[in-house]
Amino acid sequence: MEAALFLEDGKYYTGKLLGQEGTTWGEIVFNTSMTGFEEILTDPSYRGQIVLLTYPLIGNYGFNEKDIESYNLHLEGLVIKNTCDNPHHWQSNNNLNSYLVKNNKTGITDIDTRSLTKHIRENGNMFGIISSEFKKIENLKEKLFTGVKEKRNLVKEVSVSEPVLVSGDGPRIVVMDFGVKYNILRYLKNAGAELIIVPANTSKEEVMNYSPDGILLSSGPGDPGDLSEIIKEIKKIIGKIPTFGICLGHQLLGLALGGSTYKMKFGHHGGNHPVKDLNTGKVIITTQNHGYALKDNLPSGIEVTHRNLNDQTIEGMRYTDYAIFSLQYHPEAAPGPADSNYIFHEFISSIEGNKKGSSRVKVV
């Protein structure tokens, strides 16, 4: 079946339907990872976005439930060059098209993804619509701009609705869930931590009632500037307990500390971004997925610890007076290199060094 892709600036592509028949829209972003399409499709940070995969063949090793990064597919749509209908892998139990149909997601294939990627890189991220129902540009344009006007609370859409306990014998960590990936939880659990995953809008008082040893501000979708109420609660937590932020959590922490953010031209999405640790001089290859970044106007007392070597954007910071630090990139990878997963052990070590003898409350 034929399908069409229309961009808000008027650019238009035709191709073949991928996945479920229908119409979907969102901000189009490109991801440069060569593998890891299962993890990308199930990353909550892509809520509200159509993902363009730059690698030309997607799905050749199929899908299985062991490599997913959340409870659902969160992207709005998928754009690829070619798909593999007969994947070959001993763990595979599905192909890409069937996987998308099963999860009610619409995509498009057989288009010039190189041309589309260059267009976004030169003109910036923009909204687009994929449809197998509407073929005329006029209809696609009308449907797209109707959808763009819809205001969504993306973090609320992906966050847990009530607290979840993951048992462990080590330090108790409250995870503020803005769209956390499973692999973040896996690393902390494997380090022995007890995890309490709480909704994004949990208050400071509710967080502290759990008597946590540490707090994790997770990754997630959308513009951090839209989350003013969450930022207020993070401000109240600062200095109370060791805190670690990842991606959106890093941006929210920066805003709570008095910094500001800006929307990037086309963001960082992929598994091959070089980042320099400014304290050690070591360069690590990282996985990234974000469209916003902290500005270089951080207040005194905050040390920039990591820089992106492609564009010099801030990739990490540390509050020198407290056990508070954060990273813009994803140390849990999935997909991507595991160069920086040692960060989770550093977080656990900072907790152990700051633990106090306060009694814990019982978690129900």
348 contact partners, CB below 8 Å, separation of at least 6? 170, 171, 188, 191, 192, 193, 214
332 catalytic residue (yes or no): yes
Q: What's the token pair of residue 67? A: 């490599």
Q: Which of 38, 119, 247, 315 is catalytic?
A: 247
Scanning the structure block, which residue is given the tokens 């007076």?
321
Cα–Cα distance list, 225 to 146, 252, 259, 317, 342 (Å): 23, 8, 11, 19, 30
Q: In what order do the strands lie in the sheet with 261-277?
A: 164-166, 194-199, 172-177, 214-217, 243-246, 324-327, 314-319, 302-308, 261-277, 283-294
269 catalytic residue (yes or no): no
Q: Which of 76, 194, 233, 332 is catalytic?
A: 332
What DSSP line would sit under 82-119, residue for residue?
A: EE-SS---TT--B-HHHHHHHTT-EEEESS-HHHHHHH
Radius of gyration of the chain (CA): 21
Nearest-5° angle of CA 236, CA 238, CA 239?
A: 120
What DSSP line would sit under 337-357, residue for residue?
A: --TTTHHHHHHHHHHHHH---
φ, ψ of residue 330 to 5 degrees: the values are -105, 100
84 catalytic residue (yes or no): no
What DSSP line would sit under 211-248, residue for residue?
A: --SEEEE---SS-GGG-HHHHHHHHHHTTTS-EEEETH
> Do residues 209 and 251 touch, judged by C-beta distance below 8 A?
no
Q: Are strands 283-294 and 302-308 parallel, antiparallel or unpaired?
A: unpaired
Residues involved in catalysis: 247, 330, 332
